[in-house]
Chain A
Amino acid sequence: MKGKLESSERERLVEEGKNLKESLVTLEEDLVKLKDELQHVAQSIPNMTHPDVPVGGEDSSAIRKEVGCPREFNFPIKDHLQLGKDLDLIDFDSAAEVSGSKFFYLKNEAVLLEMALLNWTLSQVMKKGYTPLTTPEIVRSSIVEKCGFQPRGDNTQVYSIDGTDQCLIGTAEIPLGGIHMDSILLESALPLKYIAFSHCFRTEAGAAGAATKGLYRVHQFSKAEMFVICRPEDSEFFHHELIQIEEDLFTSLGLHFKTLDMATADLGAPAYRKFDIEAWMPGFGRFGEISSASNCTDYQSRRLGIRYRPSEPLQTGPKKGKANLPATKFVHTLNATACAVPRMMVCLLENYQQEDGSVVIPEPLRPFMGGIELIKPKLK
């Protein structure tokens, strides 16, 4: 229409232009809606799975490693709830009045034990080059979703704050994933390795019937979480580094445990591969999960928008991004529990109890508890 035209020709073009414009507007609206719908259904597609992961349900998980053996007791043993009462360490009853079920107060040496566990874990993991962090425990719900959790479903594990779009975190993995969201990192900055402390809050809705006794399943607990951001080719390596750190920690504490390669039906949507550690809990008479280490490959980074720019400039080719810079790639993220305090406490109390009702403190923790070697029954 920029050229010189006959008036009838011009009018015809104007008409055609108008039609095209209207059609475009409609189609563009449809496109937006389609893209939204596509996003919505596609986001449910779980991560791919490592070829070595056993296929099947809970019973198909493979044992990678077993450390120690169940301690033999020559006296009738107590579970952690009884020990907690007798040694004045745990109060569930007052908490039920103040807050509701599955809340608790820790008292006396149990407080020192929690602090020793966290302090010792921090110092051990820092030695492996992990940067210590504390994190917000209130986050925007969009971050929760981008990490692969469902804040708004029925039976959601997530507490929401009234009148806001904010939630309480169920794990430090969430604010850790959020630190570098919508960022492009330099390859030279990778890997980023964090160990973060936080309190964690979980509704445990839908956990009725599952093991819920005492400290095993609670609404609020302290946890030290490891988080790694790395290049895709390195995530397998770091998955093994993380599980090794966990196994070393629990071995040092003298626990009897097994490391499981979780089967396909037991992986969360984000996990490419997941190693769980279950420790022997004599009071329950069975193994209970004390940690979990997941390789989420690029599932979370594609949602959180965490990319990196490779260092070496690429040759001229179809993959070249802006100007002379290589195209960015998505990082891989991994997360692993270094210490979930209540479950550790179940293990330590139940495994280290003595006939006289006292509990021995494992050696590595003693310097972090002012040298205390034993939790003794208190005189009344």
Chain B
Amino acid sequence: MSLHKLRLAAAVPVTISTFSSRLFLKPFPNTLTLGLFSRRLQPRKPLLVRAFSASAAVQDIPANQTTVSSARRPQWKASIDFKWIRDNKEAVEINIKNRNSNADLDAVLELYENMVNLQKEVERLREERNNVAKKMKGKLEPSERDRLVEEGKYLKESLVSLEEDLVKLKDELQHVAQSIPNMTHPDVPVGGEDSSAIRKEVGCPREFNFPIKDHLQLGKDLDLIDFDSAAEVSGSKFFYLKNEAVLLEMALLNWTLSQVMKKGYTPLTTPEIVRSSIVEKCGFQPRGDNTQVYSIDGTDQCLIGTAEIPLGGIHMDSILLESALPLKYIAFSHCFRTEAGAAGAATKGLYRVHQFSKAEMFVICRPEDSEFFHHELIQIEEDLFTSLGLHFKTLDMATADLGAPAYRKFDIEAWMPGFGRFGEISSASNCTDYQSRRLGIRYRPSEPLQTGPNKGKANLPATKFVHTLNATACAVPRMMVCLLENYQQEDGSVVIPEPLRPFMGGIELIKPKLK
């Protein structure tokens, strides 16, 4: 028995991250947790203490597993289909490369293999312990009894140790596997930014026969936007909207809401402060360097960068009825982004700001329907922007430009004459089951299955993961850039597109104000 245990320990090359390996080498100060993980208030100490008692060997960790990533160990588990990954590892590896992801597939497969073996071992030991317990119920010689008692004790200790190892292995497996990005739609172009394909182009750049202003100049001249006071009050990339710009923001949101509601989307407003675990489950990184996410002091809460996050959270850890699907939402919220790491990128004026209003569409549907809804969402966006008279192109984003959650992503870039180039005004992603596996959103199919291996509880069909999609209906600052710059007149005024006028009390023109 003891030999077997030692052999197992040697055969299990458990990959433990740098953080816990340091524990083996130095005394473990109580303040370590608070120092490194100043924002994680959950009691991780019990697990760290167990690390001391583990008998598993410590191995070198792969080069791309940094201290930073181990510091952000999530507190929750994604329902990752490891078997599928193992059975499709070539495709998964190619996908990881195409997306320039730093996920470590080899580590995942190795850990998974080890986990499976350890699981078997644990089960085997449990069975043996049960056998010993059974034997001890019968009539025995005292020496025999003593031997069994000894054996039972030994099995129990081994089990405790192995079970601890199994928990740690599962945690480690989760941790590395969560980085594996979603698979990719076969039609998505492979490559970087320049490989994205144009799906559609609408309109053409307006020709101006007078020198044009950019939105910042228009904002100043028409007393619509104030960045200077906001820089004093809040910092750079904050702004006040004034006068007709306020009416324009409200008109954009009101009009967008009414248009999208006609397509059967339920309007919502959402919390803008959420628990950081929700942010992670949606595929964002609240705690990394250059994180886009603002955190609230003294809590595990963050500000949302998009309503996608509280929308994903509404149905988390739920089982929906198939008849309830699809669920289609249009949500308004303010969004907050640090824009850390955006230096050098386009940052002028309203193009990149820390706080903005946005209307976001979110769909929860059956897997077989997500492709359909991806096309519905992009169609809604294209219709909205066409109605506003914008010149834009719809792009099928290439693999290196997809976020980890997106199976496929369509971006719309609109012509911004003040910048003299196209700028992104919306994004529509099909996240398939990436988010739902993390948020725990399932549905139960309606038709009862025939008797078969897939049957879940009693007579109910087994639950499946839903697919989720999200798409920008209206990001107000970027829309404002487009409208101000495209609709400017020689006399300095700005024309309001017709669809918005009823939502602005009939205003047709933003005129320069007399001073």
Contact = CB atoms under 8 A, between A and B. Distances in A.
A105 B240 contact: no
B313 A98 contact: yes
Contacts of B229: 178-180
A162 B295 contact: yes
Contacts of B296: 159-162, 168
A107 B354 CA distance: 26
A99 B246 contact: no
A99 B302 CA distance: 9
Given A138-B354, A175-B240, A199 B272 contact: yes
A98 B272 CA distance: 10
A18 B456 CA distance: 93
Interface string B189-205: 00000000000000000
Nearest to A163: B295
B334 A161 contact: no
B233 interface: yes
A143 interface: yes
Given A105-B314, A161-B295, A201 B246 contact: no
Interface string A168-206: 100000010011111000000000000001010100000
Given A105-B268, A105-B269, A111-B268, A159 B297 contact: yes
A374 interface: no
Interface in A132-181: 132-140, 143, 159-163, 166, 168, 175, 178-181
Contacts of A104: 271
A123 B230 contact: no
B310 A100 contact: no
Contacts of B278: 98
A95 interface: yes
A105 B307 CA distance: 11
Contacts of B268: 105-107, 111
B420 interface: no
Contacts of A159: 273, 296-297
B254 interface: yes
A139 B234 contact: yes
Contacts of A138: 234-235, 238, 294, 336, 354-355
Given A98-B278, A105-B314, A162-B294, A132 B258 contact: no
Contact of A143 (B233, B241, B272, B274): B233
- Interface range on chain A (Cβ under 8 Å from partner): 35 or more
Nearest to B333: A199
A140 B234 contact: yes
Given A115-B254, A119-B254, A136 B238 contact: yes
Contact of B250 (A122, A133, A140, A143): A122
Contacts of A114: 269
A99 B238 contact: no
Contacts of B232: 178, 181-182
A209 interface: no
Of A123, A159, A160, most B-chain CB atoms within 10 Å? A159
A166 B296 CA distance: 10
Interface in B275-306: 275, 278, 294-298, 301, 303
Interface in B328-377: 332, 334, 336, 354-355, 357
B257 interface: yes
B267 interface: yes
Chief secondary structure at chain B's binding surface: mixed
B301 A99 contact: yes
Given A132-B243, A136-B238, A98 B271 contact: yes
Contact of B273 (A103, A162, A370): A103
Contacts of A182: 232
A220 interface: yes
A106 B269 contact: yes
A94 B314 contact: yes
Given A98-B313, A140-B234, A133 B241 contact: yes
A133 B297 contact: no
A160 B297 CA distance: 5
A189 B253 CA distance: 32
A112 interface: yes
A108 B268 CA distance: 7
A334 interface: no
Contacts of B270: 105
A118 interface: yes
Given A119-B250, A162-B296, A219 B273 contact: yes
A323 B357 CA distance: 48
Contact of A199 (B235, B297, B334): B334
B258 A370 contact: yes
B233 A181 contact: yes
28 contacts: A94-B314, A98-B278, A98-B313, A98-B314, A99-B301, A99-B310, A100-B273, A100-B275, A105-B270, A105-B314, A107-B268, A111-B268, A112-B257, A115-B257, A118-B250, A119-B254, A122-B246, A132-B242, A132-B243, A138-B354, A162-B295, A175-B230, A175-B233, A179-B226, A179-B240, A180-B229, A197-B246, A201-B272
Please name the 4 residue pairs, one residue from A and one from B, whose CB atoms are nearest each other, closest first: A178-B233, A98-B313, A132-B246, A111-B267
Given A99-B274, A199-B272, A201-B272, 6 more contacts: A105-B270, A105-B310, A115-B254, A134-B246, A138-B354, A219-B271
